[in-house]
Structure 1
């Protein structure tokens, strides 16, 4: 009770009578519901509470719960020039954290790499002294692991997060097949294994992949004769075949640098960024054509399509690159946008910059969505 503004214990009950020696622990189910509502960037700190919380924060069940209750908080993983470590950006909270050092050899560290997120894993493919390898960052463990290797190791391939699995296709093979590939594979993040998919209709490298209408699409690139491909194709999982889409790239932003097409999907709609004019286009499914949306605030033409991140971010598009406005400075800016189809306008949101004036180039960028 409170008297004269001072708290008093009830008569007959002294401090020594209060028994706090037993506090019923939260059940795992309840603890997971609480942890699921906390940003993943905070999980390592909560893991310091006790070993049980640490184990729960690293469990697959946590990511299943986040998916079940509809929490969607994607993380953006980037490697930019001037940095030796990958970083993780929470675009909603503006929190950027550095990942542990990737324990690769110097050949992998300074060579070209390709990245892909699936579930709570970031896959980074590149070449070590012994050949092509994959390093796997697991968010729950906050640690890098090596492997597993693809069935057909490759580079310059198309890839996409396709919900429960990740899919890759095309590219340039190393061993056992050297040349432009038409083979495809899918990665199961739970079993950590690669499985073969049927071969595509076309061999293609420097192509791009995306997930739309519950299908894995591969678009653009060049064939084994170094000829530009304007057709696309998608994998039909029910029939286990690839379906060709003639002239899918006709009227799309062109690439004069042989860089993969800059494409991304938001709200199940496909967008493409022109690397010569810095203009955005949207794919019109009904007519197999492209519509104009206007200029973007980032210079996609700075390195002719290379060094720019153009990614899917749920209902928005993510764009990272040098600003077109020179007064902003010579450093990467990060922005998102969403398309209002009723008035055919883009709405932009500026998230800031990477804060490093020596980092005008994005080597790799991948978005980890809350899919497990």
Structure 2
């Protein structure tokens, strides 16, 4: 049993009934490390930095305070740390080398998944920003990711973003072709690859735990020839590999995806002849087969952007940009029901620049506020859609939003559950 108390000098000490203890000295630290300080982009320098930190701690200095910390078996350490709020993990990197290695091993995140301790985080890139921002689920904490070390072509062009496990995947076009970059939460660093089997842009995607499914999109060869594809594949963040899946019935680009009731859904988009598609398709991984869903979007208006869809529980929701309202799909009636207005100006931009995602048991929408202020900074709203669809739709604004001011035009947004 671990107990904390003050000695006669006013220092904090920890005592334990366990006979085996280890003394940890934390030497004079002038300031707490900044959560938003940019991490090193060169991962080859990491070991050298750790060696320098270890040498610094071994110098004879006066300790600010002393802790008698009992040694814990590694399994127990992981179980304890898995229950620490994830936005506190950055602090572990500054405790000591073993804690840093434990975090980077990914074992903590594996236990979090097994114990169902995962929590959502929102990754976002707005226009004019060069670095991604990560927010916690309540938008009370944030962290600036290191700059993505790609070329100017990649940074300035449109990109696709998706999450699998602890990986943020960003795909776009570099000077030499379509490239994939991944940000790993364990190390807070960017890595290039692995490339898709069929590199493409403007595709549909949906996350299921540690894997993400992709389908459709536009393939661009070395000569600049564009091909609309029906190809599908999935990425496994634990093995960092792509696996080829059976292709869809139809070629489609500008489509959207979601994971619903154990299946990967792809909705809308345009075919190789630039015709709008009202049908959807759903993929069953068990049988490696696709099923056409006829006219699922027949009552929806079409805009230049992909459909804005999200899943909460077992329900499929859509942000109808032409009317700026929220709708839910009734699978039995094969019809969409209007639930109420959405508090952002999705209509003015044809759906572009607006983020519409599921955030646990809530819906999340980010964009330019539809209120009287019409500020040019982003507004963040969430709501728990009524179970029966009969109650009034109530959106809650995240007014603090970590005191971060980002442009209201959201280029990319995705949610990571880890």
Normalising by structure 2, report the TM-score: 0.81
Residue in 2 that maps onto 1:198: 246
Equivalent of 1:116, from 134, 159, 162? 162
Is the alpha carbon distance of 1:26 and 1:128 closer, same or farther for their aligned partners in structure 2, counting shifts above 3 Å? same
Is the alpha carbon distance of 1:365 and 1:354 closer, same or farther for their aligned partners in structure 2, counting shifts above 3 Å? farther
Q: For residues 89-141 of structure 1, what are the alpha-carbon distances to aligned partners after superposition, in whole Å with 9 as ceiling and x for unaligned? A: 00236101100111111111111111001100000001111110000000001
Q: For residues 202-252 of structure 1, what are the alpha-carbon distances to aligned partners after superposition, in whole Å with 9 as ceiling and x for unaligned? A: 110000000000100000001111111000110112221100011111223
5 Å-filtered alignment, 1:17-36, equals 23-36=69-82
5 Å-filtered alignment, 1:10-89, equals 23-89=69-135
8 Å CA contact 2:166, 2:210 repeated in 1? no
- In structure 1, distance between residues paired with 2:7 and 2:410: 60
- In structure 2, distance between residues paired with 1:129 and 1:219: 30
Deviation of 1:7 after TM superposition, in Å, equals 8.2
What is the DSSP-based 3-state SS (H/G/I as helix, E as strand, rest coil) of the residue aligned with 1:249? coil
Is the alpha carbon distance of 1:179 and 1:39 closer, same or farther for their aligned partners in structure 2, counting shifts above 3 Å? same
1:103 aligns to 2:149 (yes or no)? yes
Deviation of 1:178 after TM superposition, in Å, equals 3.6
Residue in 1 that maps onto 2:37: none
1:265 aligns to 2:308 (yes or no)? no
8 Å CA contact 1:207, 1:261 repeated in 2? yes
Residue in 2 that maps onto 1:233: 281
What is the DSSP-based 3-state SS (H/G/I as helix, E as strand, rest coil) of the residue aligned with 1:126? strand
Further displaced range: 344-353 or 269-278: 344-353
- In structure 2, distance between residues paired with 1:74 and 1:347: 21
8 Å CA contact 1:255, 1:274 repeated in 2? no
Q: For residues 265-317 of structure 1, what are the alpha-carbon distances to aligned partners after superposition, in whole Å with 9 as ceiling and x for unaligned? A: 01121100111111110010112111110101111113110000001111111
Q: Which sections of structure 2, spanning at least 5 residues, go unmatched?
A: 1-5, 10-20, 24-67
Q: Which sections of structure 1, spanning at least 5 residues, go unmatched?
A: 1-5, 10-18
Equivalent of 1:245, from 293, 305, 311? 293
Residue in 1 that maps onto 2:381: 335
Residue in 2 that maps onto 1:311: 357
8 Å CA contact 2:22, 2:70 repeated in 1? no
Residue in 2 that maps onto 1:175: 221
What is the DSSP-based 3-state SS (H/G/I as helix, E as strand, rest coil) of the residue aligned with 1:298? coil
Is the alpha carbon distance of 1:52 and 1:229 closer, same or farther for their aligned partners in structure 2, counting shifts above 3 Å? same
Equivalent of 2:302, from 249, 255, 258? 255
1:208 aligns to 2:256 (yes or no)? yes
- In structure 1, distance between residues paired with 2:278 and 2:374: 36
Deviation of 1:360 after TM superposition, in Å, equals 2.3
Q: For residues 326-372 of structure 1, what are the alpha-carbon distances to aligned partners after superposition, in whole Å with 9 as ceiling and x for unaligned? A: 326221111111111233432322113575667121010010012xx
What is the DSSP-based 3-state SS (H/G/I as helix, E as strand, rest coil) of the residue aligned with 1:345? coil
- In structure 2, distance between residues paired with 1:65 and 1:348: 34
Residue in 1 that maps onto 2:171: 125
Residue in 2 that maps onto 1:364: 412
Further displaced range: 21-30 or 165-174: 21-30
8 Å CA contact 2:126, 2:406 repeated in 1? no
Higher relative contact order (CA 8 A, sep 6+): 1
What is the DSSP-based 3-state SS (H/G/I as helix, E as strand, rest coil) of the residue aligned with 1:47? helix
- In structure 2, distance between residues paired with 1:100 and 1:7: 43
What is the DSSP-based 3-state SS (H/G/I as helix, E as strand, rest coil) of the residue aligned with 2:130? coil
Residue in 2 that maps onto 1:151: 197
Equivalent of 2:396, from 335, 349, 353? 349
Further displaced range: 229-238 or 338-347: 338-347
- In structure 1, distance between residues paired with 2:253 and 2:122: 25
8 Å CA contact 1:152, 1:175 repeated in 2? no
Q: CA RMSD in A?
A: 2.1
Normalising by structure 1, report the TM-score: 0.90
8 Å CA contact 1:330, 1:357 repeated in 2? no
Q: For residues 41-79 of structure 1, what are the alpha-carbon distances to aligned partners after superposition, in whole Å with 9 as ceiling and x for unaligned? A: 221212211111111112222112112222232110000
